[in-house]
Structure 1
Amino acid sequence: MTAPRVSYAHLLVQPNPRHVRSLVRFFEEGCSAPGTGGFGVEIEHLPVHNADDTAVTYGEPNGVEELLRRLRPYYDSAQEYWQDDHLVGLAREGIAISLEPGGQIETSIGILRKPKDLLELHGQFMREATPILDELDFRLVNYGYQPKSSYADIPLNPKLRYAAMNEYLGRIGQFGPCMMRASASTQVSIDYTSERDAIDKMRLGTAIGPILAWFFRNTPYFEGAPNPWPLCRQRMWDYLDVQRTNVTPGLYDERFSWEDYAADVLSTPLMFADLTHTPEAEGASVHGTEFTAFYTTAADLYPDRELNAYEINHVLSTHFNDVRLKNFIEMRHWDSLPIERAELLTQIVSNLFYDVERRTSLESYFSGLTGEDVHAAKAVLQARGGDAKPYDQPMDYWAEVLGVGDALADVPGDAKWPEVRQG
């Protein structure tokens, strides 16, 4: 007997059924053919001055905007992204350069067919950028958080969506301004072949992501002082906004479906409104302070019709679960990593999710897992670090099972992280 689908009738705020259908169709169109799985890798870089390791801002002389302007000749002029008269993004085949709120430079690389291809594509970016960076007297570093500057010292870049996000996240949770201005991550995306395959991968990624985060931790500093948390990135996101972060609600219910994921996203109050691609709005733009972000949902904002691709991506992009579903699966657990370690992480993800035998074995171990189990594993890692026993197994066990033995040997301890001037 087939279990009934999870109903979202219990939700206090009802999503528009047409909006739900449009998201489900978007997920369906993202299905890849079996055996063709690839990777997308996003690495965010922190710009810091060579002189004192403080953050380089977007608008300062010889800052982040100037770097982008000098990189323009290497990229497709038809894929430049501007905010008014400010350059905020570049792209060409295989790589896109964008900005996070505090001027962090994100390289989005893929679709990769082999993890090692990441080294060449990112290497080309760095070969082009390094001479320019030398002239501008700053560099790009890979840590989970700015090594010396406080978030309060870093202004937002001019993208309007970030001003609106700042207005919202500055009033809710604990770490919104810190995350926006001073943090940096590595994210790995994988394909799925069906609804069942997507949900299974989301469950597995949500379960093992925090463990991999420990093995690949890379945040020695927080707000100019030694980082006080075993997993700083997890700490920030788990305390950011309970409505849109952490473990996806209901993910481990056996009846969970794409429809339920869509309903959860659509029932969450929007952080801000983007009506730039809503024909009925006739040129309306992003709304910040005047927008009732704390209780307005997509059903209140968008017309009673199926959403277009831009609207769908906007709604999904302001939801930040540990593992996020778009027309691919995005795992978001990890600090910004040097490229060699990012490639190693991508290879481990490949082994765990695209090797049928290994994946089946892991899924068998996690049979019967609940969301509460994942929350408990995250909590014990945060409390005990390397002495933790997530899911009742020591970290040496997980190093072997997840294939990170070599990676573990290379993880820098507190004394091995490069020194950064703190005064």
Structure 2
Amino acid sequence: MSIPQEGGGPIERFEELADYIASGEKPRDEWRIGTEHEKFGYLTDSLAPLPYEGPRSVRAVLEALQARFGWQPILEQGAIIGLSRNGANVSLEPGGQLELSGAPLASMHAIADEFDTHLRECAEVVAGMGVGFAGIGAAPVWTHAQMPRMPKGRYRLMTDYMDKVGSHGTQMMYRTCTVQVNLDFGSEADMVQKLRVALALQPVATALCASSPFFEGKPNGHKSWRSRIWRDLDASRTGMLPFAFEPGMGYQRYVDWVLDVPMYFVYRDGKYINALGQSFRAFLKGELPALPGELPTLSDWADHMTTVFPEARVKKYLETRGADAGDRAHMLALPALWVGLLYDQNALDAAWDLAKGWSVETREGLRVAASVSGLQAEAGGVKMRDLARQVVAISRVGLAARGRIAGGADESRFLDVLDEDIATGQVQADRLLARYHGEWHGDLSHIYAATRL
């Protein structure tokens, strides 16, 4: 989840909304990789979720990271809610999930170093504290009532709204973890092609990273329950964006969609003002009920853009959003997959050739089937395991073409774990289910050690 955005001053022309996205365009040699990965904190003795306050708590972890490793605190109403350092942020999800929003970096080797540094710092500050972190897509045992609440005004407003517009919104907020990658584009046409590929092939990422087959103490019938949750959250702001595949797609078409998504809030003077269900179009006219007579700024627009949650999202860069959090290897494989597909033009063209003939129904069918069946998914005559094999192969070629070498290997080494999954047809969820039905004898208390980062 995002922190307040700094987009700019008053909006004077309607065209500035699309210009804001366009301002993110970069030449190829300036394209960078940004990753976001979340994890559940828990108490190793009771296996309860990590609370916000107390000697063993989210706050204690943040304060220790600040004191020992030079992070700067981010405060809201006097409470520490995050950290910043050298272009990276550590932030909190609604249920206390700890997220690293990494700095924009030039290679997957640098991404791996950043991730490992973060995990090492977290391990050092919780050593002796009786706290662990689990990499998994959904809380396997905890109920909604057990989850702590973070002191963030944005989340209080969203919690109130979620139960009014869908059946799974608060599950997403409090009991899921994801990994995503943020990538640049060079032009409007480049953004459109990348967005289409990212949306169409998002089910492949969902299947390969599926790690959430349990919920509230038992199997849930899905390989990725986190993905299932997103299908019944808020239809106005989620999904596969069928309009993105239509003629005329561009910055303005995306802006038009975002404008029609109901607002959550306006951020003023360190506080979140309730604008639930109100219209940004009305805000542009000075007719927002929450702030009558006031006109929005580009920072307000940037904030509003963070409240839409499609499977791939556009801001000043492209976010791919369809994967479960998991073990280290898969948390690094996910960004590598997308870098290989989207940052080499030949690979991008080959990826689009795979998907460009699919119908809306096939794309949505693959999304649903991936969440249920992982690599065994099938929709519209497309078999997921075969598709995943082709997609990973294209990405491997794209990564090799980038020629980013470290330790004698290029970035394609991060895809090795995905090739292993495809060869066996088994992803993290399948392996966890096998252990649950086998050596664990149905006892999910073992899953915390099995998924510990």
Asked whether the two chains share a fold, i.e. TM above 0.5, the reply is yes
Letter in 2 for 1:365: L
Q: Corresponding residue for 2:121?
A: 128
Distance 2:421 2:191 in 1: 27
Q: Corresponding residue for 1:73?
A: 67
Would you say 1:360 and 2:384 are equivalent positions?
Answer: no
Show the 5 A alignment for 1:87-98. 87-98=80-91
- CA separation of 1:216 and 1:385: change in aligned 2, threshold 3 A: closer
* More moved, 96-105 vs 384-393: 384-393
Show the 5 A alignment for 1:11-410. 20-74=14-68, 79-271=72-264, 273-276=265-268, 283=269, 285-288=271-274, 291=275, 293-294=276-277, 296-301=278-283, 307-382=296-371, 384-403=373-392, 404-408=418-422, 409=424
Distance 1:242 1:396 in 2: 28
Deviations 1:120-161 (A, max 9, x none): 112212222213212321111101112321122113200111
Contact (CA 8 Å) 2:90, 2:99: kept in 1 or not? yes
Distance 2:248 2:239 in 1: 20
Deviations 1:264-312 (A, max 9, x none): 11121112x2231xxxxxx483234xx4x23x11133356598534212
State the shift of 1:104 in Å: 0.5
Distance 1:201 1:69 in 2: 39
State the shift of 1:365 in Å: 2.7
State the shift of 1:389 in Å: 2.3
Deviations 1:158-200 (A, max 9, x none): 0111000001012220111111111111011111011111111
* More moved, 349-358 vs 365-374: 365-374
Distance 1:303 1:285 in 2: 23
Distance 2:12 2:196 in 1: 27
Structure 2 gap ranges (5+): 1-10, 287-293, 393-417, 448-453
Aligned length: 396
SS at match of 2:420: helix
- CA separation of 1:18 and 1:227: change in aligned 2, threshold 3 A: farther
Contact (CA 8 Å) 1:95, 1:121: kept in 2 or not? no
**Structure 1 residue runs of 4 or more that deviate by more than 4 Å after TM superposition:** 17-20, 74-77, 302-307, 382-385, 416-419
State the shift of 1:372 in Å: 3.3
Contact (CA 8 Å) 2:24, 2:317: kept in 1 or not? yes
Q: Corresponding residue for 2:289?
A: none
SS at match of 1:256: coil
Distance 2:222 2:246 in 1: 31
Distance 1:160 1:325 in 2: 24
SS at match of 1:111: coil
Distance 1:285 1:392 in 2: 50
- CA separation of 1:286 and 1:420: change in aligned 2, threshold 3 A: same
- CA separation of 1:187 and 1:306: change in aligned 2, threshold 3 A: farther
Distance 2:204 2:335 in 1: 15
Distance 2:369 2:141 in 1: 28
Letter in 1 for 2:444: V
Would you say 1:411 and 2:427 are equivalent positions?
Answer: yes
Distance 1:275 1:126 in 2: 32
Letter in 1 for 2:58: V
Give the share of equivalent positions with the same residue, in percent: 22
Letter in 1 for 2:113: E
SS at match of 1:187: strand
State the shift of 1:347 in Å: 1.6
Contact (CA 8 Å) 1:43, 1:337: kept in 2 or not? no
SS at match of 2:128: helix
